[in-house]
Chain A
């Protein structure tokens, strides 16, 4: 198993332990993987990593809130 797969596997394992819904877990996992990819530079070279992180986290926050509302 390559290192990237290993990291993703560990991220997946960590996400499964979070006390949130399945959809929310998937959203958190995707953002975590994206963050690591951006940090690695596997995604096309980033000019402003902080901005990318902020955007990802804001979108995730909105998504999680929406999921919360839908569940209630």
Chain B
């Protein structure tokens, strides 16, 4: 519950400085502020609205501060307007006092802006001092005293009839439904319940969307199956790989061994090639020795006429030998050392001319025969040799002196050459034999090279197969890790989905509860307000069964839209009576009944400020209305504005005497019929309002009007406000 304690105005419109303390005594809860037209009652209500709601509270404002600027200041004069509202909040057995202060400094009348105001809400601390609160606290205050309900809390006669649809002449059902609906939804918390229900529903839908999004990305089951498949493939590959590795290792070893053999063979072939070179050297040496031999034979021939014969004997070709030996044999002239050569040649199967001579062949037989014949003549040959030697010694064969020594030397050299030539020929024969054998190895090496090539290709095939398997394994391992990661994430998503599903269920439950509360409040409390209205209407208007209206109330209109509408109704003789046909007095009574019923049913705990509400009533109705407001048990804190006429009846004054805890009278120039400054020395300007504490039953020097002194209903009160 909120109670206003005091309103202080400084430089506010026609108020230079004013202070109003409001009644808070439960026995005398009513505050009465009396004032004639143009005395400042509405301005005072405007001060309430401004301090509470700022520019939102001033209906006629267009951000121009003209409505607030003091009327006595000059157009270009800077002035600070300030309104301070002291109030207290009682909740849960605790009472906390607050000060709400709003100020606006306007530089000039033309450019002053309401939006330049400053507002501070301060809370009273334990020590008594007031401590400023955050700006958000002002917003919180507005959730209790709602800006949109200002016409409800600060109601005047003109605004009140808007709840019924306006004046009789300009009735509008649309206006009525708008005003009623706004009040009902705000004060019955229907707006709040509805928006809370919708917000919970929105949140629930968000949970559902989040679940769907997570499920879209889950694929948990598919990933599991894919992982099983991949692991199966991996197992298969792991079994294949050792076999492939063994095949490759064997092929590699086989290839390596073959390669080694081939290398050995290549080395051997290289050696053979080297030996072939040696054979050529042997041949060259032998050729050189043969050349020397021939030279020696020629030299020897120079010492003997038989040199030609000797040369023939020494001819390197077998044919030549045979051709030469034949006649020599016939003559018996064959040197014995030449005869020694032939058996060796035959034995080796070759001859110097290259003709093959094998044992038992006709050529060999022929040579053997020649040899045997030669041996027969060996003695003759020796003889011949002796003759030659003798003839040489005695220079019997020519002019050239025959000396024994050179011939001997030549013969000796020839004798030395022959074995050497023989050895070289043997070596050449050996080399040629080896070369023939190595010729076979060349073919074998080529064959081996082909074989090695095939083995290398086979080894590479096995190696490629192994690498392919290893690559495949690596790929599958990567795939497996990917599936495992996906499954892990899916598991995480699954947990999130569970949480979201639980949240969705919670939202469903809360939504159903809030929605049910909304429906119950709407159906039951609207009906309760309706009943209260009928009671209040009857009480205030004093309606009887014979009256023109037998029943009034509030009801929900058809479910034409999502947002239900509410309307007032009046019935006469069991039938609806159109509101536009209801006359002014009943119209005002109906609107007041609605406001008060709603305040009563919703337990509104904020002050209710009525401005000239009694204007529209008269007689018993007015008395009952004042009686209802004054007792203050059904509404928080009644603050009633009115004219002298409003409070003139003795019945009303009696109620006010009993329940008014605070009274004020506003006096302006038009009321005193002269300059207000003369009546109130505290005033400096004639267009300023003067305030005294006179009750509706009193007058003083400030508020006194002509005739007051002669009225028995009024009593004089000395100055001293």
Contact = CB atoms under 8 A, between A and B. Distances in A.
Interface of A: 1-7, 10-11, 13-15, 17-18, 20, 28-29, 31-32, 35-36, 38-42, 44-45, 49-50, 53-54, 57-58, 60-62, 64-65
10 contacts: A1-B603, A6-B602, A18-B512, A36-B514, A39-B195, A40-B192, A41-B143, A57-B207, A58-B499, A60-B506
Contacts of A15: 513
B152 to A, nearest CB: 14
Nearest to A45: B136
A65 B512 contact: no
Given A42-B143, A44-B140, A58-B503, A7 B203 contact: no
B510 A39 contact: no
Contacts of A17: 516
Nearest to A62: B502
A5 to B, nearest CB: 8
A16 B203 CA distance: 23
A5 B199 CA distance: 22
Contacts of B143: 40-42
Given A4-B189, A6-B525, A42-B143, A61 B200 contact: no
Given A14-B520, A57-B506, A61-B502, A29 B603 contact: no
B605 interface: yes
Interface residues of B, number: 43
A72 to B, nearest CB: 15
A5 B206 CA distance: 31
B506 A11 contact: no
B295 to A, nearest CB: 126
Given A3-B602, A42-B143, 17 more contacts: A6-B521, A7-B193, A14-B512, A18-B512, A29-B513, A32-B517, A36-B192, A39-B192, A39-B199, A50-B203, A53-B199, A57-B200, A57-B506, A61-B500, A61-B504, A62-B499, A64-B502
Given A3-B603, A39-B196, A61-B499, A13 B520 contact: yes
Interface of B (DSSP majority class): helix
Given A39-B199, A54-B203, A57-B200, A2 B517 contact: no
Contacts, number: 127
Contact of B502 (A42, A53, A65): A65
B136 A35 contact: no
A66 B513 CA distance: 21
A49 B143 CA distance: 15
A44 B196 CA distance: 17
B510 A41 contact: no
Contacts of B510: 28, 31-32, 35, 57, 60
Contacts of A6: 521, 525, 602-603
B531 to A, nearest CB: 15
Given A31-B506, A61-B499, A44 B517 contact: no
Given A28-B513, A40-B192, A10 B521 contact: yes
Nearest to A4: B189
Given A36-B196, A54-B203, A61 B506 contact: yes
Q: Which 3 A-B pairs have the closest CB atoms?
A: A61-B502, A2-B603, A41-B143
Query: Which of A5, A20, A49, A54 is the most central at the interface, judged by chain B CB atoms within 10 Å of its CB?
Result: A54
